[in-house]
Structure 1
Amino acid sequence: MSAEPIDPAWLAAHSLPDHGRGTDKNARGRVLLVGGSMFVPGALGLTGEAVLRAGAGKLQIATVDQAAMHLGVLVPEAAMIGLPTDAEGEIAENAAYRLMDAASHCDTLLIGPGMVSKTSAQAMVEELLGQLDGEQVAILDAAALSCARSMAPRIAALDGRAILTPHHGEMASLTSMAIEEIAADPIDCARSVAAVCNAVVVLKAGATIVAAPDGTALRYASDCVGLATGGSGDVLAGIMAGLAARGADPLTAAVWGVWLHGEAGLRASARVGPIGFLARDLIFEIPALMNEAGSASPAPRRSEAEG
């Protein structure tokens, strides 16, 4: 089956929220980013900066307590929440209690970047998804995807306000399909998971597929081999979270995030070289790309009223 191309025509027809003069940081949305470990303590620095470069107004980062202070220096614009850490250097399984209030007051909850332990990630997902209401968006990335299959009903209960970001290996775990089967028909695979989970699915590959619960499918391929580098997916997740917090619906946030990420890769390729640019090199391209592509729709946020 075919998928619609992600191109300037689609972006023009689905503009990002516009935040004009007089907009404060609350109106641009709040992101709660949960993840990290002592194995990859800097991953959330990439994700967090991408959240802010995509235009979100406020960011809270929750990670293992040993890394929180260092991340606070790396991303000084973010508020930091240190979480209990287990003997393996992972977020402790019982740490979610520290985040209940923050989860209930954010606009977008992003769980998973930089986490290694599937058990810890599942505990976070199980506890925090229950704190969300009908307006908040949840994004499950990396280790947090490991529980998506067993938690499909709970994800579906978010009524389409969830985004799942698997690569082909993670999709194989979600579906029990072989990677070769997924590669043979990624569009149908992404559509099927989107329908079961009632969520937007971003199936990452050289050609990325974005599928919505209603069967909509879009495709983006930049042929940018340099994007196949450590931290690239962390940046993509952050872009989508920032756009969703600003008020973009989940499909729009996902599609724009994929496009911005891919186009940032092309610009980094031209500036640095086709291979060897770093994930952090993508982040600085995001604001200019958004500005050039344009945005025009109003974006009232729940945070405006909360102050």
Structure 2
Amino acid sequence: MTELLDRAWFERRCPRSDGGGKDERGQALVVGSSSLVPGAILLTGEAVLRSGAGRVQLATLAEIAPLLGVAFPEAAVIGLPSRDGELTAEGIDALEHGCARCDALIVGPGMIESERTPGLVAALLAKGGDVPCLLDAGAMTALRSIDTELPGRLVLTPHHGELATLMSADKDDVAGSPAAWAKRAAIRFGAVVVLKAAETFVASPEDRLARYVSTTPGLGTAGSGDVLAGLIGGLLARGASPFDAAAMGVWLHGSAGAAVARRHGPLGFLARDLLGEIPALLRG
């Protein structure tokens, strides 16, 4: 049976804070960005905290790390080696401490896939141990080149084109049967799959399926997926299961878009405008 993602569904599953400190609400580590899209990780990191997580660490290109730290003083920032404007697997040992302390790992916002990406992603997944992990953008599409299994702790967030690439399928076929393809991908990768579109499906390898329908076309804008990744990752850090974190993140993201659209219109708002809506949605 397909679960309908609405306010009632969200309220039944949202982790509640008992008023404890930030260390009790989880910490996420976000690894990503490139010289082409240096700000993507900023959107993701802020979304982590807006979802109610207590701490966030951002690991990105060393040359942009100081700028990121100034723009986002609430985050800890780690500079990593890069080549040709992309992160490389060299220097991943610098994340040993960060991975050991995190409750969720998010890899991929702002990353582009290249021949170096699979090695980087494989090294990060190995460092992550048993921590739940979300793969987005270039890190996610690199998964097809990696021989690894992460049963029960992996979340993927593709749009139709990315899922077609992951599954060696035709994009039109995916668009024509999104629920079926989301379920196939979930089984293929042993992951919770968030197949993003106006009609979004969340599928698990255990045959759970949830559906969310958005009537806000403005959500189809640059950076929107980076915000969604942060919301899901933050909920993972707070202790939600991969399926529930993914589904709750989808609902928060869509509801934030609807709230912005009611005030400003259905088009023309920015992904960063979604972030300020999240606390009120968490409050109910």
C-alpha contact (below 8 Å) 1:37/1:114 kept by paired residues: yes
What residue number does 2:44 align with?
A: 47
Unmatched runs of 5 consecutive residues or more in structure 1:
293-307
Provide the TM-score with structure 2 as the length reference. Answer: 0.96
Counterpart in the other structure of 2:98: 102
Q: Distance in 2 between matches of 1:238 and 1:194?
A: 20
Q: Deviations over 1:135-167 (max 9, x none)?
A: x2100000111222233x62x3x3211100001
The CA distance in 2 between the partners of 1:260 and 1:160, in whole Å, is: 23
Residue 278 (structure 2) pairs with residue 286 (structure 1): yes
Q: More deviation in 60-69 or 111-120?
A: 111-120
Q: CA deviation at 1:61?
A: 0.4
Select which of 19, 22, 44 maps to 2:17: 19
How much has 1:250 moved relative to structure 2?
A: 0.7
Hey, what's the Cα distance between the residues in 2 that align with 1:118 and 1:204?
Answer: 23
In structure 1, what is the equivalent of residue 213 of structure 2?
Answer: 221
Cα distance, 1:128 vs. partner? 1.6
Question: Cα distance, 1:131 vs. partner?
Answer: 2.4
Which ranges in structure 2 are unaligned for 5 or more consecutive residues?
none
The answer to whether the Cα contact below 8 Å between 1:31 and 1:58 also exists between their aligned partners in 2 is yes
* RMSD across aligned positions (CA): 1.4
Residue of structure 1 in register with 2:141 after alignment? 146
Distance in 2, matches of 1:250 and 1:284, equals 24
**Residue equivalent to 1:128:** 124
Q: Does 1:71 pair with 2:68?
A: yes
CA distance in 1, matches of 2:173, 2:160: 10
Query: Contact between 2:158 and 2:194, CA under 8 Å: does it hold in 1?
Result: yes
Residue 26 of structure 2 aligns to which amino acid in structure 1? G
2:145 is paired with a residue whose SS is coil
TM-score, scaled relative to structure 1: 0.89
Report the Cα distance in structure 2 between the residues aligned to 1:160 and 1:62, rounded to whole angstroms: 25
Secondary structure, counterpart of 1:18 in structure 2: coil
Structure 1 residue 205: Cα displacement: 0.7
Distance 1:75 1:120 in 2: 28
Measured in 2, the distance between the counterparts of 1:284 and 1:104 equals 30
Alignment of 1:205-244 (within 5 A): 205-244=197-236
Distance 1:289 1:19 in 2: 14
CA deviation string 1:91-143 (max 9, x = no partner):
12423222133113210000000112433432222012112333x21000001
1:286 Cα offset (Å): 0.6
> How far does residue 8 in structure 1 lie from its aligned partner after superposition?
2.7
What displacement does 1:279 show?
A: 0.3
- Counting matched residue pairs gives 284
Note if contact 1:3-1:187 (Cα within 8 Å) is conserved in structure 2: no
1:46–1:234 Cα contact (<8 Å) kept: yes
**1:111 match:** 107
Checking the alignment, whether the CA contact within 8 Å between 1:90 and 1:117 is kept in structure 2 is no
CA distance in 2, matches of 1:95, 1:122: 15
Q: CA deviation at 1:9?
A: 3.3
Query: How much identity, in percent, do the aligned residues show?
Result: 48
